[in-house]
Amino acid sequence: MDENPRYQAGLAVRKAVLGDEYVNNSLAAASGDAFMATIQQFLTENAWGTVWTREGLDRKTRSLLNLAMLTALNRPNELKLHLKGALNNGVTPDEIREVFLQAAVYCGAPAGLDSFKIAQQVFKEEAEKQKAGAASRP
């Protein structure tokens, strides 16, 4: 992957939002594949290094917008990923509910319902992860 400053800035933001494990796994999976490496570099440099690093909107607001757009575009895998990122960025389940209600009105009830179901699954997974982490602490 390119080590230019925009890529490095994007990598830092991407890891902060999506988590080191997810980003490292994505980059590792693409490292031996020039075809996939191209999109990983493009996204890290442009989406994360150019757009997510801009002033004007904070990360929480960007996350809320992503949730609405991913609902509208019917992208469940990315929605699940960005739900976790939104929680990392301080978005609350109540705020997520409101975004999905708003999206249901403008994008259609099936899109909103699917997003609610995906969020419910993510909330459950995150609660289980926190519970497991708390149980493993002395």
pLDDT of amino acid 135: 81
Query: Mean of the per-residue pLDDT values for the chain?
Result: 95
pLDDT tens per residue across span 110-130: 999 999 999 999 999 999 988
DSSP code of 43?
I
pLDDT of amino acid 2: 64
Spatial contact of 41 and 2, defined as CB atoms under 8 Å apart:
yes
Mean pLDDT of 79-93: 97
* Residue 57 reports pLDDT greater than 90: yes
pLDDT of amino acid 17: 97
Question: How far is Cα 50 from Cα 71, in angstroms, rounded to an integer?
Answer: 23
Axis-axis angle for helices 109-136, 76-88 (nearest 10): 50
In order of 8, 76, 92, 135, the CA distances from 81 in angstroms are 21, 9, 15, 25
CATH number for the domain formed by residue range(s) 57-138: 1.20.1290.10
* Residue 26 reports pLDDT greater than 60: yes
pLDDT tens per residue across span 38-51: 999 999 999 999 99
Residue indicated by tokens 């497991």? 132
Tokens of 48: 């994360």
pLDDT of amino acid 21: 94
List alpha helices for 1-138, DSSP H. 5-18, 20-31, 34-42, 59-73, 76-88, 93-107, 109-136
**Residue ranges per structural domain of the chain:** 1-54, 57-138
**Sign of the alpha-carbon torsion through 65, 68, 71, 73:** negative
pLDDT of amino acid 134: 82
* Residue 1 reports pLDDT greater than 60: no
